[in-house]
Amino acid sequence: MSRAQSRSCERARAAPAGTAAPAVPTEAPEATTGRPPELLRLPGGLRLHRRRSAHAPALNRAVRANLEHLRPWMEWAAEAPTRARTAELTRAGTAAWEAGTDFMYLADLDDAPGRVVGAFGLHGRIGPGALEIGYWVAARHVGRGIATAAAGALTEAALALPGIARVEIRCDQANGASAAVPRKLGYRLDRVAKAAARAPGETGRQLVWVKER
Protein backbone atom coordinates (compact mmCIF):
# COMPACT_ATOMS: atom_id res chain seq x y z
CA MET A 1 0.00 0.00 0.00
CA SER A 2 1.43 -0.12 -0.48
CA ARG A 3 5.19 0.96 0.65
CA ALA A 4 7.02 3.17 3.40
CA GLN A 5 10.33 1.69 3.96
CA SER A 6 10.42 -0.66 1.00
CA ARG A 7 13.25 -2.42 -0.61
CA SER A 8 15.30 -0.93 2.14
CA CYS A 9 13.27 0.31 5.13
CA GLU A 10 13.01 3.32 2.99
CA ARG A 11 10.26 2.23 0.62
CA ALA A 12 7.86 0.16 2.44
CA ARG A 13 4.37 -0.81 1.85
CA ALA A 14 2.19 -2.47 4.23
CA ALA A 15 1.43 -5.49 6.19
CA PRO A 16 -1.74 -6.84 7.70
CA ALA A 17 -1.95 -3.37 9.12
CA GLY A 18 -3.05 -2.17 5.79
CA THR A 19 -0.13 -1.88 3.50
CA ALA A 20 1.37 -3.34 0.47
CA ALA A 21 4.38 -5.08 -0.84
CA PRO A 22 7.40 -3.38 -2.37
CA ALA A 23 7.58 -3.01 -6.10
CA VAL A 24 10.66 -2.89 -8.25
CA PRO A 25 10.97 0.54 -9.88
CA THR A 26 11.02 0.27 -13.65
CA GLU A 27 12.84 3.56 -14.07
CA ALA A 28 14.61 6.24 -12.07
CA PRO A 29 12.38 8.15 -9.62
CA GLU A 30 10.64 11.15 -11.12
CA ALA A 31 11.06 14.53 -9.44
CA THR A 32 8.05 16.77 -8.87
CA THR A 33 8.21 20.54 -8.92
CA GLY A 34 6.02 20.98 -5.85
CA ARG A 35 6.15 19.62 -2.31
CA PRO A 36 3.31 18.23 -0.18
CA PRO A 37 2.62 19.68 3.28
CA GLU A 38 5.16 18.68 5.93
CA LEU A 39 2.40 18.24 8.51
CA LEU A 40 -1.07 16.80 8.01
CA ARG A 41 -3.49 16.78 10.95
CA LEU A 42 -6.25 14.21 10.67
CA PRO A 43 -9.34 13.37 12.75
CA GLY A 44 -8.91 11.44 15.98
CA GLY A 45 -5.66 13.15 16.94
CA LEU A 46 -3.71 11.48 14.13
CA ARG A 47 -0.80 13.39 12.64
CA LEU A 48 1.40 12.76 9.62
CA HIS A 49 4.64 14.67 9.79
CA ARG A 50 7.67 14.79 7.55
CA ARG A 51 10.25 12.24 8.58
CA ARG A 52 13.55 13.76 9.66
CA SER A 53 16.85 12.45 10.97
CA ALA A 54 15.83 13.21 14.55
CA HIS A 55 13.06 10.61 14.22
CA ALA A 56 15.42 7.73 13.44
CA PRO A 57 15.60 6.30 17.00
CA ALA A 58 11.80 6.21 17.39
CA LEU A 59 11.39 4.72 13.92
CA ASN A 60 13.96 2.03 14.65
CA ARG A 61 12.15 1.07 17.87
CA ALA A 62 8.83 0.86 16.05
CA VAL A 63 10.18 -1.30 13.23
CA ARG A 64 11.94 -3.69 15.61
CA ALA A 65 8.78 -4.01 17.72
CA ASN A 66 6.70 -4.88 14.64
CA LEU A 67 8.94 -7.25 12.70
CA GLU A 68 6.69 -10.30 13.10
CA HIS A 69 3.72 -8.23 12.05
CA LEU A 70 5.46 -6.83 8.97
CA ARG A 71 7.47 -9.87 7.86
CA PRO A 72 4.76 -11.61 5.77
CA TRP A 73 4.57 -8.65 3.36
CA MET A 74 7.84 -6.74 3.71
CA GLU A 75 11.07 -8.06 2.30
CA TRP A 76 13.09 -5.68 4.46
CA ALA A 77 11.47 -7.03 7.66
CA ALA A 78 13.36 -10.32 7.36
CA GLU A 79 15.83 -9.03 9.94
CA ALA A 80 15.95 -6.24 12.49
CA PRO A 81 17.59 -3.04 11.24
CA THR A 82 20.41 -1.55 13.24
CA ARG A 83 20.07 1.98 14.53
CA ALA A 84 22.82 3.01 12.13
CA ARG A 85 20.94 1.53 9.18
CA THR A 86 17.71 3.30 10.11
CA ALA A 87 19.62 6.57 10.53
CA GLU A 88 21.21 6.09 7.10
CA LEU A 89 17.86 5.45 5.45
CA THR A 90 16.30 8.41 7.20
CA ARG A 91 19.03 10.68 5.86
CA ALA A 92 18.41 9.27 2.39
CA GLY A 93 14.71 10.03 2.79
CA THR A 94 15.51 13.62 3.73
CA ALA A 95 17.62 13.99 0.59
CA ALA A 96 14.84 12.46 -1.53
CA TRP A 97 12.33 14.98 -0.14
CA GLU A 98 14.62 17.84 -1.06
CA ALA A 99 15.10 16.33 -4.53
CA GLY A 100 11.33 16.00 -4.98
CA THR A 101 11.35 12.24 -5.70
CA ASP A 102 10.03 10.76 -2.45
CA PHE A 103 8.13 12.23 0.48
CA MET A 104 8.42 10.18 3.68
CA TYR A 105 6.10 10.61 6.67
CA LEU A 106 5.70 9.15 10.14
CA ALA A 107 2.38 8.92 11.95
CA ASP A 108 1.83 9.60 15.62
CA LEU A 109 -1.07 10.50 17.90
CA ASP A 110 -1.69 13.62 19.93
CA ASP A 111 -1.95 11.54 23.11
CA ALA A 112 1.42 9.86 22.44
CA PRO A 113 3.57 12.38 20.56
CA GLY A 114 6.81 10.98 19.21
CA ARG A 115 5.70 7.35 19.36
CA VAL A 116 5.63 6.03 15.80
CA VAL A 117 2.36 4.25 14.98
CA GLY A 118 3.00 3.95 11.26
CA ALA A 119 5.12 5.04 8.32
CA PHE A 120 3.85 6.42 5.01
CA GLY A 121 5.31 7.73 1.81
CA LEU A 122 4.70 9.22 -1.61
CA HIS A 123 7.12 7.70 -4.11
CA GLY A 124 8.01 8.88 -7.61
CA ARG A 125 9.00 5.41 -8.81
CA ILE A 126 6.16 4.64 -11.23
CA GLY A 127 6.89 7.10 -14.00
CA PRO A 128 6.05 10.71 -14.87
CA GLY A 129 2.88 12.37 -13.66
CA ALA A 130 2.28 9.81 -10.92
CA LEU A 131 3.11 8.99 -7.32
CA GLU A 132 2.71 5.74 -5.42
CA ILE A 133 1.56 5.59 -1.79
CA GLY A 134 3.27 3.14 0.54
CA TYR A 135 2.59 2.50 4.20
CA TRP A 136 2.60 0.27 7.25
CA VAL A 137 0.82 0.55 10.59
CA ALA A 138 1.98 -0.82 13.94
CA ALA A 139 0.27 -4.04 15.03
CA ARG A 140 -1.33 -2.58 18.14
CA HIS A 141 -2.98 0.18 16.08
CA VAL A 142 -4.49 -1.97 13.34
CA GLY A 143 -8.24 -1.64 12.91
CA ARG A 144 -8.42 2.03 13.90
CA GLY A 145 -8.64 3.39 10.36
CA ILE A 146 -5.16 4.91 10.49
CA ALA A 147 -4.01 3.51 7.14
CA THR A 148 -7.18 4.61 5.37
CA ALA A 149 -7.20 8.11 6.87
CA ALA A 150 -3.52 8.70 6.16
CA ALA A 151 -3.64 7.27 2.63
CA GLY A 152 -6.68 9.42 1.90
CA ALA A 153 -4.88 12.56 3.04
CA LEU A 154 -1.81 11.66 1.00
CA THR A 155 -3.96 10.98 -2.06
CA GLU A 156 -5.36 14.51 -1.86
CA ALA A 157 -1.92 16.00 -1.22
CA ALA A 158 -0.40 14.13 -4.16
CA LEU A 159 -3.12 15.10 -6.65
CA ALA A 160 -2.76 18.74 -5.58
CA LEU A 161 0.88 18.79 -6.71
CA PRO A 162 1.68 20.34 -10.09
CA GLY A 163 2.13 17.72 -12.78
CA ILE A 164 0.69 14.83 -10.75
CA ALA A 165 -2.43 13.35 -12.34
CA ARG A 166 -2.41 9.79 -10.95
CA VAL A 167 -1.84 8.06 -7.63
CA GLU A 168 -1.36 4.32 -7.22
CA ILE A 169 -1.46 1.86 -4.33
CA ARG A 170 -0.04 -1.61 -4.95
CA CYS A 171 -0.32 -4.71 -2.81
CA ASP A 172 -0.08 -8.46 -3.12
CA GLN A 173 -3.33 -10.23 -3.93
CA ALA A 174 -3.14 -12.15 -0.65
CA ASN A 175 -2.90 -8.99 1.45
CA GLY A 176 -6.59 -8.38 2.02
CA ALA A 177 -6.11 -5.73 4.69
CA SER A 178 -3.95 -3.71 2.37
CA ALA A 179 -6.39 -4.00 -0.53
CA ALA A 180 -9.21 -2.73 1.68
CA VAL A 181 -7.57 0.71 1.93
CA PRO A 182 -7.71 1.80 -1.74
CA ARG A 183 -11.10 0.15 -2.09
CA LYS A 184 -12.49 2.29 0.74
CA LEU A 185 -10.93 5.40 -0.78
CA GLY A 186 -12.60 4.92 -4.15
CA TYR A 187 -9.56 3.76 -6.10
CA ARG A 188 -10.26 1.51 -9.06
CA LEU A 189 -8.50 -1.80 -9.56
CA ASP A 190 -6.58 -1.17 -12.76
CA ARG A 191 -4.93 -4.55 -13.22
CA VAL A 192 -3.37 -7.60 -11.60
CA ALA A 193 0.31 -7.72 -12.48
CA LYS A 194 2.98 -10.35 -12.08
CA ALA A 195 5.61 -9.47 -9.50
CA ALA A 196 8.41 -11.32 -7.79
CA ALA A 197 7.30 -12.81 -4.47
CA ARG A 198 9.95 -11.42 -2.13
CA ALA A 199 8.24 -11.81 1.24
CA PRO A 200 6.77 -14.96 2.84
CA GLY A 201 3.10 -13.99 2.42
CA GLU A 202 3.29 -12.88 -1.20
CA THR A 203 1.82 -14.77 -4.14
CA GLY A 204 3.53 -12.89 -6.96
CA ARG A 205 0.23 -11.41 -8.13
CA GLN A 206 0.11 -7.69 -7.45
CA LEU A 207 -3.06 -5.60 -7.35
CA VAL A 208 -2.55 -2.16 -8.89
CA TRP A 209 -5.08 0.38 -7.63
CA VAL A 210 -5.37 3.78 -9.33
CA LYS A 211 -6.97 7.13 -8.56
CA GLU A 212 -6.78 9.97 -11.07
CA ARG A 213 -7.27 13.70 -10.81
pLDDT confidence band for 33 (50 / 70 / 90): confident
Instruction: Please determine, for residue 41, whether its predicted confidence score (pLDDT) is greater than 90.
Output: yes
Stretch 45-67: mean pLDDT: 97
Per-residue pLDDT at 28: 73
The sign of the dihedral angle between the CA atoms of 119, 120, 123, 126 is positive
Q: Which domains does the chain have, with CATH numbers?
A: 6-212 (3.40.630.30)
pLDDT tens-digit map of 146-175: 999 999 999 999 999 999 999 999 999 999
pTM for this entry: 0.87
- Which one-letter amino acid corresponds to residue 15? A
Rounded to whole angstroms, the Cα distance separating 40 from 26 reads 30
Per-residue pLDDT at 27: 58
Mean pLDDT of the chain: 89
pLDDT tens-digit map of 82-93: 999 999 999 999
Q: Around 78, how many Cα atoms within 13 Å sit in the side-chain half-sphere?
A: 9
Instruction: Please determine, for residue 61, whether its predicted confidence score (pLDDT) is greater than 90.
Output: yes
130 DSSP 8-state letter? E
How far, CA to CA in Å, does 123 sit from each of 71, 117, 131? 21, 20, 5
